[in-house]
Structure 1
Amino acid sequence: MARGSGGWRIEVGDRQAMTLVLWLRDAAGMTPDLDPPIPPLEPPVAVVPELVSLVDAQATAQWTGLWLGLWEGRLEEWFTLEMLAPPRFELLNRSHKLRKLFAAGFPDAVAWANENRPAAGGATGRPAAVPGSVVKQLEGELGRRARDFELGITVLPVAGRVFWMLPDGGLVVSTSLLRDGRAFKALLYDVLASVV
């Protein structure tokens, strides 16, 4: 997290619920029609035949509804993780096909997500240092302090150096983009220029 002396705040973190849901998509070989399209996880997830056998059009539609709830910010992270947990998978009470898929894949999804969790702020300190330095650069260029703003940056372990703006104004970046200091700084400059 980066915080200014005024009222601005930038928080960099991951969303384990999104990673779990993407793991199930990849492991089950699902190909939902998403807008924007989300690349596969990185490192790649092997397709699990047991999970593939549980996928049909209804399970894919239910998965898409869950993903959109996460993507659009209608499902809070803490709530989703609690309500997707075994043994009841309460969030999926009305999505029976998806519930079966989660029950079969949940332990492996959690293990993968924990092992490959993006290092938001890791040992390099780059994610925490870069947002603050970009704000200072913009303050210097504008000749004033930054206005009050908040920016949430979600890091997803997906393939490629990609990013998206969320409907709620948040930013999603891939782990690869986060680790590319120059590209991440350039992206932040563009995003923050309109709010600082």
Structure 2
Amino acid sequence: MGGTGNPEWLIREDAGQPVLLALYLRQVLGIRSPDELPQLRGIPPRENVRDDTAQATLERQWREYWAMTVEPQAHPSTVPLELVDEFGTLMALPQDGARELRAAVRPHAAEAMAFTQSAHSRYRRDAGSGSSYRAYASAIAEYERQVGRRAHSFELNVQVLPLAQRGVWWIGSLTVAVTDGLRGDVAAFDAAINPIIAELA
């Protein structure tokens, strides 16, 4: 965060368990959206036995759930939400309009929760060095040097995820996904995050 009286920036980095869970379920349900976002690593492909209409319904309901999960303030539900018991507090779906998704995810609960908790714990362990603030501050300082002015105030959420491809992808208006391997490579991450900083600052 910048100093008092100057433009301020806020970057939140995490491997959020609700986001990890949503992506795991996306994969085991055979959902393609968002098309540009790679699959998670290490999850065997599943056979999709649903017809096209059922799959389209599931994809639509998942996309709504995904938007609420990634940026809940920007995508509030128009109806009350209800926790899906098998997922503790990590998954809430609209009471109306998500019946098919609720039924489809329940059989995957145990494996999905195990994956989510393991991936989140690995991120917490790897992030324990406390270097994330320095990485972003360095990228912003470099941007300020290049453009000859202070960065504008902005917010950015960064989800560090075990994706099958290295890269950075927008997954919300203020949220990017970055591959964990790229996040751990200081020079490559710096180069990858600079265009994101430039877009916001």
Normalising by structure 1, what TM-score?
0.74
SS at match of 1:91: strand
Structure 1, residues 24-62: CA drift from partner, whole Å, max 9, x if none?
23234x1x34244322212x113567xx56784233443
Contact 2:24 2:112 in 1 (8 A): yes
After superposition, where does 1:63-142 map in structure 2 within 5 Å? Answer: 63-70=62-69, 74-75=74-75, 83-86=82-85, 91-94=93-96, 95-117=98-120, 119=123, 122-142=127-147
Deviation string for 1:6-28 (max 9, x for gaps)?
42222212232221122123234
66-75 or 8-17: which moved more?
66-75
Q: Percentage identity across aligned positions?
A: 23
Could you say which residue in structure 1 is the equivalent of 2:168? Answer: 163
CA distance in 1: counterparts of 2:45 and 2:171, whole angstroms = 28
Separation of aligned partners in 2, 1:166 and 1:97: 24
The number of residues matched between the two structures is 184
Cα RMSD for the two superposed structures: 3.2
| Unaligned residue ranges in structure 1 (runs of 5+) | 77-81
Where 2:163 maps in the other structure, the secondary structure is coil
Q: Can you give the 5+ residue segments of structure 2 that lack an aligned partner in the other structure?
A: none
Choose which of 171, 178, 182 in structure 2 pairs with 1:173: 178
Q: Deviations over 1:58-110 (max 9, x none)?
A: 3344323323444565457xxxxx84441597615332221122222122211
Which AA in structure 2 matches 1:188?
I
CA contact (8 A) 1:26 1:41 kept: yes
Describe the SS at the equivalent of 1:25.
helix
2:33 paired with 1:34: yes
* Alpha carbons of structure 1 residues 13 and 83: separation in structure 2 relative to 1, 3 Å: farther
Aligned to 1:79: none
Partner SS, residue 122 of structure 1: helix
Indicate conservation of the 8 Å contact 2:140/2:197, yes or no.
Answer: yes
Q: Secondary structure at the match of 1:67?
A: helix
The alignment status of 1:191 with 2:196, answered yes or no, reads yes
TM-score (norm 2): 0.72
2:22 aligned with 1:21, yes or no? yes
Query: What SS does the aligned partner of 1:158 have?
Result: coil
